[in-house]
Amino acid sequence: MLNAGVGGWPARRAQMTPNRRAFVFGDRSLRYAEVHERTTRLAWRLREAGVRAGDRVAYLGPNDIAFAETMFATHVLGGIFVPLNFRLAAPEIAYMLRDSGASVLVYAPECAEAVRTLPDMPDLRTVVALASPAPGEHEYETWLSAGDATPIDVPVALDDIALILYTSGTTGRPKGAMLSHANLVWNTFNIMIGVDVASDEVTLISAPLFHVAALDQTLLPTFVKGGCSVIMSSWDVDACYDLIEKHGVTWMFGVTTMFAAFARSPRWAGADLSSLRNLMSGGAAIPGALIRTYQERGLVYCQGYGLTETAPGATFLEAEESARKVGSAGVPVFFANVRVVRSDLTDVEIGEPGEVLIQGPNVTPGYWRNPEATAAAFLDGGWFRSGDIATLDGEGHLYIVDRVKDMFISGGENVYPAEVEGVLFEHPAVAEAAVVGVPDPTWGEVGRAFVVRRPGVDATGDELRAFLLGRLAKYKIPRYFEMVDSLPKTGSGKIQKRQLRSRPLA
């Protein structure tokens, strides 16, 4: 086979285990032979739409089997898959489509309004709707079914780019982190070493697939082993319990808020969870009390640390260490190196906070069409600067202390205050604004905005919140707005966010 990348996986799996279940979604179930055939047909339609090696195909929508089919079909042709966050506002989606130069967009009906309001996109030649297409668009199933079933095999190298995943920047516009097929393969190796993924795995995909963790940490390793991915369109506690019982789920990934809600359910004490072999979490530091809640229930709770740019696994805490090292993000994954350094790039002592650096075959080659950001992210020797602060204990286990600069995580989603502040500044009443993350019992953290108004111009928190709606994803909109006369600043004029974080809520 000429295709050495992820696009060759459906054909290889169909040859080895054609009759095993690959995906379950609601009442639908697809076996590996069916995935191969459908992926091939879709690849032919993409080829007829002009997609060639290096061209970009975007997907916008909640979790669905169509997400995986579109990704694999794109990779069959050597194209680049661009999964978009369906929670974003239309202007944010438009920027990513324009920046990536996507020529094809596949979207779910939940995103129809956003798609209908997109400005003119010269590069976007083909639009495919999973349901209810508008004039000029294709209906997904009809379009796919008309494709040729003759296998396609074009040369795809491991170093070719497979994904562009947009990460909100701490300043300016989001950056498109590129991940190569090699990045995905090496990350899959790292997961299979750390988790012992089995060929009879039944993996619950409940976190959004547009996030690197759900895609690379669960779906791809399950697929390569010939297991079954049970896909949820969105997180729902009761549906999660039902699917575990119905399908005998063995493995699931989630963020803190998901696992906290799962344990708070009235069904927690009496549910049959005996099929679960591994629970895995990431995206934010996990409270020790929550980990112990699961351990007391007899469940294995593993966690790790990583970034979109590291595909994402950088460190992992294996099951046998999960009780002894509660709260740790583990040690470097098998095929990667991790350092924690001072500002002068010397290694820290035990317990001393420093910046996390990552090096290995799982690390991004850089940012899409952004050489400046790429150069700023790397040190000599291929060390990627995470911007995250951590400590190491005497056994080399990593403990995350702080986030990238001022970033906070709300419900598992990264929120970068500079982006929110930039949109706030567009309001005519806003002279200055600063956004920080504050603790929240439901979402982990939410935004708190401090706003200095222009002289003679008034605005309330409700008015500013309404202004942000439609311009930003809802999870980015601050929960709290406080009008202040001034913001604390350093001698050089920089806002002192540490002081703002320490202020009690009114």
Domains detected in the chain: 1-157 (3.40.50.12780), 408-502 (3.30.300.30)
CA 458 – CA 447 distance, rounded (Å):
21
| pLDDT tens by residue, 71-113 | 999 999 999 999 999 989 999 999 999 999 999 999 999 999 9
The rounded mean pLDDT for the chain is: 93
Give the pLDDT score at 402. Answer: 60
The type of residue at 504 is P
CA 139 – CA 126 distance, rounded (Å):
11
> Which token pair is 294?
């699961």
Q: Any residues with CB less than 8 A from the CB of 392 and at least 6 apart, and which?
A: 340, 348, 350, 351, 398, 399
Q: Please compute the mean of the pLDDT values over residues 123-151 and round it to a whole number.
A: 98
> Which token pair is 339?
């350092």
Looking only at the bridges linking them, the beta strands covering 383-392 and 378-379 are antiparallel
Residue 129 has pLDDT above 90, yes or no: yes
| pLDDT tens by residue, 355-384 | 999 999 999 999 999 999 999 999 999 999
Please answer whether residues 90 and 70 qualify as being in contact, where contact means their C-beta atoms are separated by less than 8 angstroms: no
Give the pLDDT score at 404. Answer: 58
Please answer whether residues 328 and 397 qualify as being in contact, where contact means their C-beta atoms are separated by less than 8 angstroms: yes
pLDDT classification of 60: cutoffs 50, 70, 90: very high
CA 101 – CA 472 distance, rounded (Å):
22
Give the pLDDT score at 400. Answer: 83
Residue 170 has pLDDT above 50, yes or no: no
Name the percent of the chain lying above pLDDT 70.
96
The type of residue at 203 is T
List phi, psi (to 5°) of 430. -95, 120
pLDDT classification of 459: cutoffs 50, 70, 90: very high
| pLDDT tens by residue, 318-355 | 888 888 888 899 999 999 999 999 999 999 999 998 89
Q: Please compute the mean of the pLDDT values over residues 420-445 and round it to a whole number.
A: 90
Give the pLDDT score at 14. Answer: 98
CA 88 – CA 108 distance, rounded (Å):
14
What's the pTM value of the predicted model, to 2 decimals?
A: 0.86
Torsion of CA 414, 420, 421, 422, to 10 degrees: 120
Please answer whether residues 60 and 114 qualify as being in contact, where contact means their C-beta atoms are separated by less than 8 angstroms: yes
Give the pLDDT score at 492. Answer: 45
Please answer whether residues 250 and 278 qualify as being in contact, where contact means their C-beta atoms are separated by less than 8 angstroms: yes
Query: Please, what is the end-to-end C-alpha distance for the chain in angstroms?
Result: 64
| pLDDT tens by residue, 471-504 | 999 999 999 999 999 999 754 456 788 899 989 9
| pLDDT tens by residue, 270-294 | 999 999 999 998 766 666 678 888 9
Name the percent of the chain lying above pLDDT 90.
77
Residues in the chain, overall count: 506
Give the pLDDT score at 167. Answer: 87
Concatenate the DSSP letters of all residues of 485-497 into one string.
Answer: S---B-TTS-B-H
CA 495 – CA 498 distance, rounded (Å):
9
* Residue ranges with strand state E in 169-300: 175-180, 202-205, 228-231, 251-254, 278-281
